[in-house]
């Protein structure tokens, strides 16, 4: 994805790969792991696809599930200690139909080129009755909190970007928060049934959803 005159998401993650986990932890005040954990708790056991796995920050939350880590960014994936790693995009998953019990995706959906194509692919690779859990950042649900949050990220993220020596990348993060419709709309009409939706974090700017492929 490219903002007007801005970097693509591929360029962003190639540049921030080494600092990604530390900065993510600081920006979420140490809560990013708990937000992933809350979503993974809803997934069945078995074979799970970590879509946009990045450096493997979710690995320790998967328990005994057999994980396949997929990401288009080689610099991010190179830092992921997972044994099964695949370079690829959510919109064109290089896996057979029905080959996963579960799909997990954290902090990825704002970055994909096409949410409908990614959801169609998740639906295709899930077995019947399988589940997907998605966690991502958005804006708070209420109008005044949304406005306040927008001002907050416009001020805080450029400062973090300066400290992390990646100002353009953190401005990209601020812009990406307004890229998609709210999760109620985003997941309400796709090929997968929306089973649960909850909000987390300050002002509820983090959401989790559980989606089910019908039997």
Ligand X SMILES: C[S@@+](CC[C@H](N)C(=O)[O-])C[C@H]1O[C@@H](n2cnc3c(N)ncnc32)[C@H](O)[C@@H]1O
Contacts with ligand X, residue ranges (CB under 6 A): 9, 13, 36, 51-54, 57-58, 71-73, 76, 89-91, 106-108, 111-113
Nearer to ligand X, 3 or 148 (CB): 3
Nearer to ligand X, 9 or 166 (CB): 9
Q: How far is it, in rounded angstroms, from Cα 53 to Cα 41?
A: 17
CB of 91 to ligand X, least distance (A): 6
CB of 98 to ligand X, least distance (A): 20
Nearer to ligand X, 108 or 210 (CB): 108
Q: How far is it, in rounded angstroms, from Cα 62 to Cα 43?
A: 9
Query: What beta strand segments (E) does 14-61 contain?
Result: 47-51
Q: How far is it, in rounded angstroms, from Cα 212 to Cα 93?
A: 18
Q: How far is it, in rounded angstroms, from Cα 180 to Cα 12?
A: 18
**Nearest 5°: phi and psi at 94?**
-85, 55
CB of 81 to ligand X, least distance (A): 13
CB of 143 to ligand X, least distance (A): 26
User: On the CB side of 47, how many CA atoms lie within 13 Å of its CA?
Assistant: 10
Nearer to ligand X, 56 or 130 (CB): 56
Name beta bridge partners: 199: 207
Tell me the residue nearest to ligand X as measured from the CB: 54
């Amino acid at each position: 994805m490219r903002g007007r005159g801005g970097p693509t998401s591929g360029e962003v993650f190639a540049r921030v790969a080494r600092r990604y986990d530390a900065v993510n932890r600081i920006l979420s005040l140490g809560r990013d792991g708990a937000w992933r954990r809350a979503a993974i708790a809803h997934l069945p056991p078995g074979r799970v696809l970590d879509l946009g796995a990045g450096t493997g920050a979710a690995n320790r939350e998967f328990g005994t599930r057999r994980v396949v880590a997929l990401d288009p960014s080689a610099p991010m994936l190179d830092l992921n200690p997972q044994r099964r790693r695949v370079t690829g995009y959510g919109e064109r998953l290089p896996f057979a139909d029905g080959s996963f019990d579960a799909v997990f995706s954290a902090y990825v959906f704002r970055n994909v080129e096409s949410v409908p194509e990614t959801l169609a692919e998740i639906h295709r690779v899930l077995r019947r009755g399988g589940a997907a859990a998605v966690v991502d950042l958005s804006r708070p649900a209420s109008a005044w909190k949304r406005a306040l949050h927008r001002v907050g990220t416009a001020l805080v993220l450029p400062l973090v970007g300066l400290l992390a020596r990646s100002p353009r990348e953190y401005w990209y993060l601020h812009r990406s928060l307004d890229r998609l419709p709210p999760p109620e709309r985003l997941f309400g009409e796709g090929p997968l049934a929306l089973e649960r939706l909850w909000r987390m974090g300050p002002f509820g700017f983090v959401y989790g959803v559980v989606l089910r492929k019908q039997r």
